[in-house]
Structure 1
Amino acid sequence: MLSAHDVTAGYRSPVITDFSLEVHEGQTVGLAGPSGSGKSTMARVLALLHKPFSGTVTIDGDTATRYRFNAPQRTKIGVLFQQPRLSVDPRFTLRKAIAEPLRDHDAVAELADLVMLTEDLLDRRPHEVSDGQLQRACLARALALKPRYLICDEMTTMLDASTTAALVGVIRAYQAETNAGVLAISHDTRLLARWADQTFSTASTMTLSR
C-alpha cells in the first residue's frame, strides 16, 4: 500500500494540510479538484519528489525518510506528469528518454511497443512529435522499472480523447499484469468516473482515506 498520513506540505507556506490517502495494490484511486487545490503537490510528496513539512508517507509498510534523489524507495513509484514537454530533455530522442532509467537498453523496443510507439518515432526529438506521442514515451519511461505504484498527475490534459483512452488502456493492462496501484489525478470528473475505483475531491475535503 502507498499511503500518506496527516501530510502538510507546500513551498513557502502549506497548500495542503493534514492530508491522508491510501492506494492499495491493484486499486485505482481518483483525486479530483480545481487548479491550486494541492493535487500536484500531493502527487510529488507521494512520489518522494517533495518533502512535506509534516506527516508521513509509507510504501508497503516502510516509512519514507528521504526524498528526491536520495530516496531508496523511489523506484517503486512511477510518475506521469501533465506536461510531457517539461518532463523530457529536449536534446533526447524518444529512445533515449525511455531508456533513461534503464541499465539494459534492449528493453526500449518492448516498452515502446507496449505504449504503441512505432519504431520510426523513437529517433525523433520532442519537438518532432505530438504531445500524445511524447506522453506515450513518458509512460513507457514511467513503467520501465516496473513500479508497484503509478501516479498520473493530470496526464491527459494535453491529449485528445483517443490518446487518453489508449493510455488508460495501457495502464489498466499493466495493472492486470502486475497488480500495481494507481493514483489518477485529474480535474476531469467524467474521466475519473470511468477510470477510478473510487474518487475523492480536494474541493470538499483535504483529508482523504480509503
Structure 2
Amino acid sequence: MLELRSVTAGYDRAAPVMRGVDLTIAAGASVGLLGPSGCGKSTLARVAALLHRPDAGQVVIDGQPARGWRHRAPREQRTAFGVVFQQPRLSADPRLTLTDLIAEPLRAVGRAPEAAAVVPALAARVGLGKDLIGRRPHEVSDGQLQRACLARALVLRPRWLICDEMTAMLDASTTASLVHVVEEYRAEHGAGLLAVGHDRVLLERWCDGTTHWDDLTGGL
C-alpha cells in the first residue's frame, strides 16, 4: 500500500500548494487524480515518488515510512517507483541514445550488464523498433521519446507507477498504446498506479477510481 498521510508540501513554506493531504493507493490498484493545470498535482506526484520532500506529513510504502528523498532515499524504496512525466524532452538527457536512456536506471543501481538483454525487449514492448533505439531525443518525435521514457520507468520492475500527465502531449493512438503497456505491466506484476491528469474521460476509463484535486485538498 502507498499512503500519503497529512502531507503538506510546496516550494515556499509560507504558501504550500497542498496542506494535510491524505491519499491511499492499495497494491495493484489504480487511482486517477484529476485537476486543472497548475493546481499542484505534479507536486503531489513528486512527493509520492520520493522526488520532493514534503514540509510535513509522511509517505508510507508498504507499511514503511519513507527514509529519504531523491538520491538519499534507500535503494529499495527509491527503486519501488517508476515515474513518467508530461514533457519527455525535459526528462531525457539529449546526449543519450534511446537505448542508453532506457538503461539509465540499471546503470544507477549497478546493473548495467543487464541492459543488453533487457533493453531491446522492453523497447519493443513500448513500440520502439531497432531503427529507433539508436537515435537521440532530437531525432525522434515526442511520442517516440515518451515511449522510451515509459520503458525507462519500467526497466527496474517497480511496484508503483506514477504517470504525471503522461499522455497530455500525445495523439489518441499513442495515448492508447502507452496506456495499454501500463495496464499490461500492472496485470503481470501487480503494480499500483497513480495517474495524474486533466482529462476526466481518460482517467475514468483508465483507473479504478478518480479523485478531484479540490476534493483532496479542500480547494487549497
Q: Which residue of 1 aligns with 2:135?
A: 124
The 8 Å contact of residues 84 and 135 in structure 1, kept in 2 or not, is answered as yes
What are the within-5 Å matches in structure 2 for residues 128-167 of structure 1? 128-167=139-178
Residue identity matched to 1:65: R
What are the within-5 Å matches in structure 2 for residues 79-118 of structure 1? 79-102=83-106, 103=111, 104-106=114-116, 107-118=118-129
Shift of 1:193: 1.1
Shift of 1:204: 3.3
Q: Distance in 2 between matches of 1:30 and 1:173?
A: 17
Q: Which residue of 2 aligns with 1:3?
A: 3
- 1:145-198: CA deviation from partner (whole Å, max 9, x where unpaired): 000000000000110000000000000000110000000000000100110100
What are the within-5 Å matches in structure 2 for residues 1-210 of structure 1? 1-12=1-12, 13-72=15-74, 73-102=77-106, 103=111, 104-106=114-116, 107-206=118-217
Q: Distance in 1 between matches of 2:203 and 2:191?
A: 17
For normalisation by structure 2, the TM-score amounts to 0.92
The 8 Å contact of residues 7 and 16 in structure 1, kept in 2 or not, is answered as yes
Indicate the RMSD between aligned Cα atoms, in angstroms: 0.9
Q: How many residues align?
A: 207
Q: Give the match's secondary structure for 1:163.
A: helix
User: Which contiguous aligned blocks of 4+ residues in structure 1 show a shift greater than 6 angstroms?
Assistant: none
Q: Give the match's secondary structure for 1:34.
A: coil
- 1:46-80: CA deviation from partner (whole Å, max 9, x where unpaired): 00010000000000110002101010111001100
- 1:20-62: CA deviation from partner (whole Å, max 9, x where unpaired): 1111111110000012221000000000010000000000110
The 8 Å contact of residues 34 and 203 in structure 1, kept in 2 or not, is answered as no
Q: Once the two structures are aligned, what percentage of the paired residues are identical?
A: 60
Unaligned 5+ runs, structure 2: none
- 1:117-157: CA deviation from partner (whole Å, max 9, x where unpaired): 10100111101101110000000000000000000000001
Shift of 1:114: 1.3
Unaligned 5+ runs, structure 1: none
Residue identity matched to 2:88: P
Residue identity matched to 1:192: L
By percentage of residues, which structure has more helix? 2
Q: Give the match's secondary structure for 1:101.
A: helix
For normalisation by structure 1, the TM-score amounts to 0.97
